[in-house]
Structure 1
Amino acid sequence: MPAPRSSSAARRGGKASNIPQVPWREPRPAPIVLVSGPEEICAERAIAGIRTYLRAEDPAVEVSDLRADDYESGSLLALASPSLFGEPRMLRIAGVERCTDAFLAEAVAYLEHPQDGATVVLRHTGASVRGKKLLDAIRAGTGGGIEIACPAIKRDDEKADFAAGEFRAAGRRIVPQALRALVSAFSDDITELAAACQQLINDVEGDVTPEIVERYYGGRVEVSAFVVADTAIAGRLGEALVALRHALASGADPVPMVAAFAMKLRSMARVAGSRESNAALAARLGMKDWQVDRARRDLAGWNERSLGLAIQATARADADVKGAARDPIFALERMITVIATRAPYGEAGR
């Protein structure tokens, strides 16, 4: 595997970084490892990965922990220095964004003379500019370090990438529909999403399907919403209405239910008629390749007229469930009927 490239164009704290930028899923040791950014689950995985790497090389590696915000002078050098038998050392330092003056001074000095056999991991969440002098020195190349960035995972596509990476790293496959349902179910908490991925990886044999996600997490409102949407768009009216009833019985709110339909139909409309490759179209529209691929597959059997009817029905349902009609459940059923039959309401079966 080629070594990660140094990214002089990557900007961190206003300065270009001159050290290798290493993916958090592919961590490796170095004399200095800066683990930056607010996403704690990724930082934890990266730091644990470095420990696993070092222990695979030498099970006798000594692992020590320090707090930069509660620091006793001399601790850094004492723990990083070789022991009598010269075992490799890993020093994990948390709270660098709140570091004391004593730690900052000693850490900057340490960069000039890193100890042989020591891997010093510095965790900085980016929550403050405290420690900027140290970060700038590391990113300038002093100490021969690397950086593992852990930026916040906020957008739906970022969460989908994260979850897909969990299964890919485990050598497992989750089908796209199941992936979207899982991400939607845990959209508010990336740590819960990670735990759900690991539960499915550990408990389920073979591919993870939408039915499996529904069985495990069917009580989550967003899962049911996307199951209903996928089923209706596939043209299975009876299954879609049954899924709707199940979702409503589980506590689903009609408003996010309609939003799930709107999101899928909007993606379908954006890619309809284009002959560009998935990668080219995704780049132009600001979508992911898999989103374009899924939208194109969803379009099977659709045409301009039926897609227009579906979009109109969804817009009407959106207004109805937000107060324009007395019966939001009827509004949902009417929308689903139009979408699943790809015909105006009342014409199904004609």
Structure 2
Amino acid sequence: MARLLAQARAKDPTTEVIRVEAATYEAHQLDTLVSPSLFGEPRLVLVPALEQMTDALLTDLLAYVDSAAASADPEVSVVLRHNGGQRGRRLLEAVGASGYPVVSCPPVKSPRDKSALVSADVARAGRRIEPEAVGALVDALGSDLRELCSAVDQLLADTQGTISAEHVSTYYAGRIEATGFTVADAAAAGSTSAAITALRHAVATGTDPVVVVAALATKVRQLARVAASGGRRMTPADLGMAPWQVDRARRELSGWSDDALATAIVAVAKADAEVKGGSRDAVYAVERAVLTVCRARSRGTTARR
């Protein structure tokens, strides 16, 4: 949507942008908005929450789509954004069948997709970002996609040259330190004191034990996937991971044996059940899992030696 608005204003800086609130729309308002202007100024009509539309807006948009090919003002653009749900599906089908451009935006859920989003936004701005910086951003802010994108915008505005892991740490150190991923990274490295310190800080700042266990599970799964690939030539996509995740997992695996990974997997699975109602003390359950993972990694290092 930002690019569409930028394109409209790049074509003509006098373009008027009109935002329509779908939930409060009244009948025939659209007729006025898409009618030719007295002075011929270009206009962009934006409906950002189409799924909230009133029956009146649905009726008017269906009529507009049906007649626009023959009678639409070429100086008027209409941009509709549907954020999901069943409301307005008939309109979406009509727009799709009309030949007008439709952009489908599937949910961005996996760390790999979030990493790709960050990298693409930075590249679109003509800048570069270090893989470690991408990973740090996703770890710190990946649970909220809008916040993640806003962080990219802020870094682009406030830094110059390549965005580094140091830049991310400077702006978001507190967020990074308070996430379950920091706990998981320290545990995977076998650093007991750092992992427990990070865990207590995360809990003290409001991080749910369930989230910490989820981060541990993600970390252990990634290590196991990369370990299982062995010497086979598997791409990050084959492993369901971002390239920076694969590179980090390969570095971290130097301290793990297969038996140690198995021990960690069992410990995290047990903690997952305990923090979801199987234990009276969820924090203690997580702490025990973290200690088990750290000890397993230490034994794995000994075994490999």
TM-score by length of 1: 0.64
Equivalent position to 1:270, from 225, 234, 253: 225
Show CA shifts across 1:233-290 (max 9, x none): 345x3xx5135314413425655434423321222212324234343x633x544555
Structure having the larger proportion of residues in helix:
2
List runs of 5+ in structure 1 lacking aligned partners.
1-45
Return the structure number with greater strand share. 1
1:241 maps to which of 193, 205, 211:
193
TM-aligned CA deviation for residue 147 of structure 1 = 0.9
CA distance in 2, matches of 1:104, 1:268: 51
Residues 309-320 of structure 1: pairs in structure 2 closer than 5 A: 309-311=263-265, 314=268
Aligned amino acid, residue 175 of structure 1: P
Matches of 2:60 and 2:129, distance apart in 1:
45
Mark the CA change 1:67 to 1:333 in structure 2 (over 3 Å): closer, same or farther.
closer
Amino acid at match of 1:121: V
Report matched runs for 1:72-151 at 5 Å: 72-73=27-28, 75-97=29-51, 98-99=53-54, 100=56, 102-113=59-70, 114-130=72-88, 132=90, 134-140=91-97, 142=98, 144-151=99-106
Q: Distance in 2 between matches of 1:71 and 1:77?
A: 11
Task: Give aligned-pair identity as a percent.
Answer: 35
Equivalent residue in structure 1 for 2:291, among 330, 334, 350: 334
Q: Distance in 2 between matches of 1:186 and 1:150?
A: 20
| CA-CA distance at 1:52 after TM superposition | 1.0
- Residue by residue over 1:75-100, the C-alpha shift from the partner in whole angstroms, topping out at 9 and shown as x without a partner, is 43443344354333222235544241
CA distance in 2, matches of 1:254, 1:167: 33
Deviations 1:296-333 (A, max 9, x none): 34323544344345445555766787649996586356
Q: SS of the counterpart of 1:146?
A: coil
CA distance in structure 1 between the partners assigned to 2:59 and 2:290 by the alignment: 66
The equivalent of 1:54 in structure 2 is: 8
**1:282 equivalenced with 2:240 (yes/no):** no
What is the CA-CA distance between 1:338 and the residue it aligns to? 1.8
Counterpart residue type for residue 266 of structure 1: R
CA 1:219 to 1:131, structure 2 compared with 1: closer, same or farther past 3 Å?
A: closer
Q: In the alignment, what sits opposite 1:66?
A: 20
Q: 1:77 to 1:244 in 2, by over 3 A?
A: same
Gaps of 5+ in 2: none
The 5-angstrom pairing of residues 192-271 of structure 1 reads: 192-203=147-158, 206-209=162-165, 212-213=168-169, 216-218=172-174, 223=179, 225-234=180-189, 237=191, 241-250=193-202, 251=204, 256-271=211-226
Distance 1:135 1:126 in 2: 11
What TM-score does the superposition give when structure 2 sets the normalisation length?
0.72
Deviations 1:328-348 (A, max 9, x none): 58635632542442449xx89
RMSD: 4.0
Q: Which residue of 2 aligns with 1:295?
A: 249
